[in-house]
Structures are given as structure tokens and as C-alpha cells.
Amino acid sequence: MLKDFFTRKKYATIAVQAKTYKENPTEIKEIEDIGPVSNTSYDKIKDSRINPRQIIQDIIDEETFVEYDRDLEASNPLDFPDYNTKIAQAKEATKEKEAVITGEGDIKGERAIICVMNPNFMMGSMGTVVGEKITRAIEKAIEKKLPLIIFSASGGARMQEGILSLMQMAKTSAALARLDESGLLYISVLTDPTTGGVTASFAMLGDIVLAEPGALIGFAGPRVIEQTIKQKLPEGFQRAEFLLEKGFIDKIVKREDMKDTLSKIIRLHSRGGEVHG
């Protein structure tokens, strides 16, 4: 399950029996030449996840970012056991109040509304506050007639908020429908991982859908699908490259090329330099 994927330990502890041997200088030299042990596959996946503040720093022109709703933070509407503790731990670990940062800024001189999810805050899960912040950002885009960019990175709806978290799927989708009716541009950027209720709502509703290389994108996890359909999935299933081949996304963009790509798309969709549609 996705929860297991995000919370598994980096390293397994293996008990071994002590063994005495005579040191071989040649073997020691070979070990020294190898250098530090490479990251495990889990470490590589974790390191590839987006850091929302870093994304904003890399994408938005210097000193142009204005953050929205910074003081909005989660409560425990269903009095779910241990939820308050988990929120406190996430805040301490990330130094953020919720799993998404929203605001506006310039991208090579082009003004835009931007939302960036944080996969390190409770798996980037979407609760009522995440849904509210994204909806407010969409409404700001409509009000200011600006293009909208959302960087998704999430395990889906937040289970501790039950039906209230699932309602955010409809809420954000309805707001995006109003954005579309206003003729405004929405660029969705899928990063690793984008899954669950986020994929089933705003993440896949972009006018243009971009993805980072190798990003896991889907609804249920591959193991769940295999167990359900009793079939082996194709290699690379649910990865960005597979989805590009099948037409689910428009382009795979490396992180270092993202700012240039976004600015070109926004300029391409500009009309008279004032209204973006």
C-alpha cells in the first residue's frame, strides 16, 4: 500500500553471526577504493521528491513570490485517534503548516498563480486545508485573470479526515471548471509520486499536463492492481514515460528545464500580454 511505501524504513537490520578472520591488505585496499555505499532504491526515490520551497525558488523570479494563506492549518474534524500527533510531527519535520504552498509570482516576467504540494508532509495527502488552499488559489487565478500552475506530489486523500478529504476532489474540480469557463490556462505538473484522489481530481485536469522523468503516476498502487486483476503489469507501468506513450501526459520535463518550459507555455497562451487563456 502507498502508506507502507512512504513509511518504510530506509534500512533493514540483519542479524549476523560474528566471524573472525585474518585481515588481508589487498581486500582492505579494494574496499577503500569502492568509496561510500550507494543509496538504496528507497533513498533515491525519497531524494527525487520535490521540496516545495526549492521548487518555488527555482521556478519563480527572485523577490516576486507572494504566499497565500500561510496561516491555514489542519484541525481534527473527526477526532481521529493520534491525528493531532501526526500533524505536529509533520509540522516539526517539514517546518510547514500543511502539505501545500500556494501563492503568485513571476516566471521570467510572466505572472502566474502557483501551488506546490509537499510529499514529506503526511505523504502530501489532501485534507480539508489542502483542498481549501488549492481552491482559493484557483479562485485567485480567476479573479486576477492569471494562469495557474499546480505541482502535484501526493499519496491521495487524507484518511484521517474521511469523507471530508474526499469532498476536496469535487471541490477542487468544480473550481477548475470555473477556471476553464473563464478561458484561463491551467498547467498541471506531475511529480513523484502523484496518486490516489489527487490523480483522480485536479492533477489530471490540466489544459497541459507535464511530468518529471520517472514519476510514479496513478490511482491505486501497482501491487493492488496486480492483486485485483491477477495479471502481471507491463514494465514501467504507471511511470511518466509509460503514460506519455499512452497519451495521458503531454511532455516529460526535467526539473532544470521546468522554468524555461513553463515560461514558454505561458507566453504562447498570452493574448495582448494581459489576459492568459
pLDDT in tens, 35-90: 443 343 334 445 568 899 999 999 999 999 999 999 999 899 999 999 999 999 99
Residue 125 domain-assigned (yes or no)? yes
Q: Tell me, yes or no, whether 43 lies in a domain.
A: no
126 neighbors 135 (Cβ within 8 angstroms):
no
pLDDT of residue 120: 95
The CATH number of whichever domain residue 221 belongs to comes to 3.90.226.10
Question: 197 lies in a domain?
Answer: yes
Residue 72 domain-assigned?
yes
Determine, yes or no, domain membership for 33: no
Angle CA 57–59–61, to nearest 5: 75
Q: Bigger pLDDT: 234 or 252?
A: 252
Work out the pLDDT band at 271, boundaries 50, 70, 90.
low
Residue 7 lies in a domain: no
Name the residue range of residue 186's domain: 58-269
Average pLDDT value for residue range 162-185: 97
pLDDT of residue 206: 97
pLDDT in tens, 129-142: 999 999 999 999 99
Could you give the C-alpha distances from 5 to 41, 98, 203, in angstroms and in order? Answer: 12, 20, 21
Average pLDDT over residues 192-198: 95
Query: Would you state the pLDDT for residue 252?
Result: 98
pLDDT at position 277 is: 45
pLDDT band at 223 (very low <50, low <70, confident <90, very high): confident
Spatial distance between the Cα atoms of 9 and 117, rounded to a whole number of angstroms: 23
Q: How confident is the model at residue 28 (pLDDT cuts 50, 70, 90)?
A: very low
- Looking at the 3D structure of the chain, how many domains does it have? 1
222 part of a folded domain: yes
Q: How many CA atoms lie within 13 A of 164 on its CB side?
A: 14
- In-domain check, residue 184: yes
Q: Model pTM?
A: 0.80
For 114-165, how does the pLDDT look when each residue is reduced to its tens digit (9 = 90+)?
Answer: 999 999 999 999 999 999 999 999 999 999 999 999 999 999 999 999 999 9
**In the structure grid, which three cell numbers stand for residue 111, read together?**
505572472
